Amino acid sequence: MAGPELSDGFTRVAHEVIEEVARHKFNGTQLRILLIVWRQTYGWRRKSAELSATFLATALQSDLRGVKKELNHLLDIKVLVVHRPAIGKYGRYIGFNKYTDQWLVGDNCPPQENKSTGGQLTTYEVDDYTPDLVDNCTPKKEKKESIKKDNKNNKGAAKEMASKTKLAKSREGKQEYADEVWLKPEEHTKLFNEFGQDGLTWMIDVLSSYKLSVDKFYASDYAVFKKGGWLRMKYEKHLVEQNKGKKQPSFLEQKLGGMIGDGGRIDVTPDSSKASTPKLLG
């Protein structure tokens, strides 16, 4: 059975970053959080992503309380930074801070109140006394909203995982001809024969720029090159604009093609005694 392949996706992390992280004494949960943050940001060629504590706990299969505590600590010491605060229904966007001189580590590191749980569930001691009849539980409405939010986050995580699977599937048997432009070799050959090198290069560059700017992928990049695809229509419009002002060949010139020499002229006067083929005059 084939193991993981780079063609299925990979995460680019600078050597200096890995070496700097290795030099500092991060605990196990903190290191695992950093790995997921790299995967969800650098793995998608972006600097930040909407990563909630619930999403990270699900990805790490760890206790939510422990993950939340270590995530906040990494933010406090500026190893992770908030790129965009939470706004309404949208969560905050966080990313890795590659500027290690800004980290508050070592002597400058703010102390943590308790030792990290390392991702394990906390064990609590149970008292045997009978509690007073005081209702201190979370209101039903608040509890319902909390459950709904957790379910939404879990669905979001599942949706993102499904998206990654679709991305890997969309690249099966294909080659990357420009950033984020994936085609099968036979598709590339067919497009080359149809549009030529200049036309195909122009179209691939436009598609690459668009996909990078919107962080988007298609199940088939080849589809947008075909008749009716937006890229093909954009290229046809480009050709029309490029040919504006140029003199178009007459019907006769199109028919005779290269028969017309520089400075030559054609005698097309009918002559019943001779063949009707036009005679080229000096």
Asked if 231 contacts 203 with a C-beta cutoff of 8 angstroms, the reply is yes
How confident is residue 158, by pLDDT bands cut at 50, 70 and 90? Answer: low
Q: What is the pLDDT of residue 152?
A: 64
Which tokens is 31 given? 């290191």
Cite the DSSP H helix spans in 3-97: 15-23, 28-41, 53-60, 64-76
Q: What pLDDT does residue 229 have?
A: 86
Residue 150 CB coordination number (10 Å): 14
E strands, the chain, where? 49-50, 80-84, 93-96, 175-178, 181-183, 265-267, 279-281
**pLDDT of the residue at 58:** 93
Look at the block and give the residue holding tokens 């993981």.
4
Which residue has 């680019």 as its token pair? 12
197: which 2 tokens? 């090198």
Q: Which distant-in-sequence residues (6+ apart) come within 8 Å of 202 by Cβ?
A: 235, 238
pLDDT tens track for 178-207: 888 889 889 899 999 988 998 899 999 998
Window from 139-143, 187-191, 203-207, 215-219 with minimum mean pLDDT: 139-143
Percent of the chain with pLDDT over 70: 65
Please say if the pLDDT value at position 124 is more than 50: no
Q: Does residue 161 carry a pLDDT above 70?
A: no
Average pLDDT over all residues of the chain: 76
Count helices and strands (H / E) in the chain: 8, 7
